[in-house]
Amino acid sequence: MPSPYALNIRDLARRPGETKPFSLDVAVPEGFGNAVIGVPEGAQLRIDGRLESLHDGVLVTADVETTAVGECVRCLVPLSEPVEVDFQELFAYPGTSDFDYQIQGDTLDLEQVVRDTVVPALPFQPVCVEDCEGLCPVCGVRLLDHPGHEHEAAVDPRWAALADLTRESDEQLPE
């Protein structure tokens, strides 16, 4: 089964100066990203660009648009974020070893270059809103949903025994 990222370049191969626009709409067959945010399997990915035949291979210039989904690193709320990146890569003819990407027969596969472009563009620490306060470290409630949320001041465990002594002495005092 051919890759959904594959482009046929039969009419461009070894014809320096020829150009051809292209558009691909891909339902991502395998998700990519990191543990916090990524492009999930089945997400729509749009690639618009231009192919230009050169002596060494085919130059691909393209824009990629998709939506990444994940969760806020501060409060763990699900989020989605638009991703728009562009790239320009040379796909070399077979037998040329100096290039990262190679043409296979009459096709070139954009999958690896798309991954290599989109993944670094994803936010390292995505947040739902810029001033997200995260979760309460005591009870775990989302602080943006509960402004002014507070707890009683915790007693330092080193002094907890003394607090017990004062309670006992208060109980023993005659009224």
Query: What pLDDT was estimated at residue 20?
Result: 93
For 74, phi and psi rounded to 5 degrees? -95, -40
Q: Which of 139, 93, 115 is nearest to 33 (CA)?
A: 115
User: What is the residue extent of each domain of the chain?
Assistant: 1-175
Query: What pLDDT was estimated at residue 3?
Result: 87
Mean pLDDT in residue range 81-99: 87
| pLDDT band, residue 175 (cuts 50/70/90) | low
